[in-house]
């Protein structure tokens, strides 16, 4: 035993895990994460564009011209509205599905898989499929027409007020399987004794859900709301495939605006916008996660 101890002393941690073992991982981290992020900050203060080869320092020029232009603020507003809508729908759908499919029957298992499939589908493919379904002469209007017996030609993706809701529902539809899975896992962790006690006290299903099960789901809610909210602020693919930011710019997320600006060859400005998006997500992430974690104190 004493020999072992001496050995352990003679070979401190640093020797069996020398720090340079970290180098490969660190190189990957620096090259693919650290440097690009840093460049994202640096290029925002330059005049990098496709029009000339030199890159000069431009101070806060990009920021002033972006904020004096209404398009950026509009895109920020659209992005926030979109994120909130997606978070609402995705969690409502996910929680609903989890409660419906909670029991481990054979049918439920199969249905869970079915609802999870959209999560692993390509977002662009989902977008294009919904774009075809939601056209004025698309399948959805066809079905509605057959049911009502009248000719239905609702432009689901052509309304300057409601299209953002429709697109948020599509986004939520794609990701609701993931929320469902996490809520299912959350439901499984609830102690059966607690539920048993509630039943003995005569609680009905609704009271059980409202007073016991939902509060105990707090960690799952934290994860789902945070990922849905912050993830959809980085949304691009589904909206690009369905509306490309239209009609009338009402679904132009910041990422679509960035894509458009980059395509114009204004690389520095596009970088500035992605920096703004990064800051926005960061600023929003802290209070949201803090608030949600606070709810977990009941546990």
Partner 1 sequence: MKKPFRYAPALVAAAALTLTACSDPGAGTGDTGPVDWPAQDADLSGTTLTVWAAQNSNTVPDSVIAGFEELTGAEVEVVTIPDPYEQGVQTKVATGDMPDLAFWQPTASQLTALNAKQHLQPLDDAPWLDAYKPELRDITGILDGTRYAALITTPAVEGVYYNKEVFAANGITETPADWDAFLQTARDLEGAGVTPFHEMAADRWGTQWWVQVQLADAAADGLWDRVNTREELFTDPTIQGAIDTYQGLIEEGLFNEDIKTATFEDQGAALLAGDAAMVVQVNSFFGQLQSLAETEELNRKIGFFPISPSGNTGTFIPDQSNALVAFKTGDADRESAARQLLSYWMGDGYEGFVNAQSTVSLQSDVETPADVPEALLSVSDSLGTAVGSMQASAIANPDLYLYLADMIQGTKTPAEVAEATQAQFDELAKAQGAEGF
Q: Which residues contact 134 (CB under 8 A, 6 or more apart)?
A: 140, 156, 157, 166, 242
From the list 78, 267, 271, 277, which residue makes contact with partner 1 (rule: CB under 8 A)?
Answer: 267
Closest by Cα among 223, 208, 273 to 75: 273
From the list 30, 60, 92, 194, which residue makes contact with partner 1 (rule: CB under 8 A)?
Answer: 30
Tell whether residue 4 is a contact of partner 1 (CB under 8 A): no
Name the H helices within 212-266. Answer: 214-216, 218-233, 237-242, 254-263
Which of left, alpha, beta for 265 (phi over 0: left; psi -120 to 50: alpha)?
A: left
Cβ at position 43, least distance to partner 1 in Å: 8
C-alpha atoms less than 13 angstroms from C-alpha of 246 in its C-beta half-sphere: 10
Closest by Cα among 75, 77, 86, 249 to 167: 86
Binding mask 161-200 for partner 1 (x = CB under 8 A): ----------------------------------------
Tell whether residue 145 is a contact of partner 1 (CB under 8 A): no
Q: Cα torsion for 155, 157, 159, 163, to the nearest 10°? A: 140
Number of residues that bind partner 1 (CB under 8 A): 41
From the list 6, 77, 265, 279, which residue makes contact with partner 1 (rule: CB under 8 A)?
Answer: 265
Q: Which residues contact 209 (CB under 8 A, 6 or more apart)?
A: 99
Binding mask 47-76 for partner 1 (x = CB under 8 A): xxxxxxxxx---------x---x-x-----
Residue pair 223/189 in contact (Cβ under 8 Å)? The answer is no
From the list 173, 209, 262, 278, which residue makes contact with partner 1 (rule: CB under 8 A)?
Answer: 262
Among the residue ranges 80-88, 94-102, 246-254, 275-283, the one whose residues contact partner 1 (CB under 8 A): 246-254
Tell whether residue 96 is a contact of partner 1 (CB under 8 A): no
* Rg of the chain, C-alpha, whole Å: 25
Residues that bind partner 1 (CB under 8 A): 13-14, 19, 26, 30, 34-35, 38-39, 42, 47-55, 65, 69, 71, 136, 155, 158, 160, 244, 246-250, 260, 262-269
């Amino acid at each position: 035993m004493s020999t072992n101890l001496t050995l352990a002393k003679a070979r401190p941690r640093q020797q069996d895990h020398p720090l340079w073992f970290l180098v490969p991982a660190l190189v990957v981290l620096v090259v693919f994460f650290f440097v690009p992020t840093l460049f994202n900050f640096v290029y925002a203060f330059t005049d990098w564009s496709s029009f000339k080869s030199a890159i000069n320092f431009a101070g806060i020029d990009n920021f002033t011209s972006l904020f004096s232009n209404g398009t950026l603020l509009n895109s920020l507003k659209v992005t926030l509205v979109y994120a909130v809508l997606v978070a609402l729908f995705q969690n409502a759908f996910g929680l609903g599905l989890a409660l419906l499919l909670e029991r481990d029957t054979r049918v439920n298992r199969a249905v869970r898989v079915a609802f999870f499939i959209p999560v692993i589908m390509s977002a662009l493919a989902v977008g294009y499929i919904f774009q075809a379904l939601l056209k004025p002469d698309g399948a959805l209007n066809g079905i509605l027409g057959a049911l009502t017996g009248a000719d239905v030609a609702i432009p689901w993706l052509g309304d300057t007020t409601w299209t953002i809701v429709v697109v948020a529902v599509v986004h939520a539809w794609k990701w609701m399987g993931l929320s469902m899975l996490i809520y299912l896992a959350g439901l499984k962790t609830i102690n059966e004794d607690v539920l048993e006690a509630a039943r003995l006290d005569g609680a009905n299903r609704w009271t059980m859900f409202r007073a016991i099960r939902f509060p105990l789901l707090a960690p799952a809610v934290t994860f789902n709301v945070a990922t849905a909210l912050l993830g959809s602020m980085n949304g691009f693919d589904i909206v690009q495939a369905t509306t490309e930011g239209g009609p009338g710019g009402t679904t132009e997320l910041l990422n679509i605006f960035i894509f458009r600006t980059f395509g114009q060859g204004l690389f520095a400005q596009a970088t500035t916008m992605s920096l703004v998006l990064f800051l926005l997500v960061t600023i929003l992430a802290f209070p949201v996660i803090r608030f949600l974690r606070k709810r977990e104190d009941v546990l």
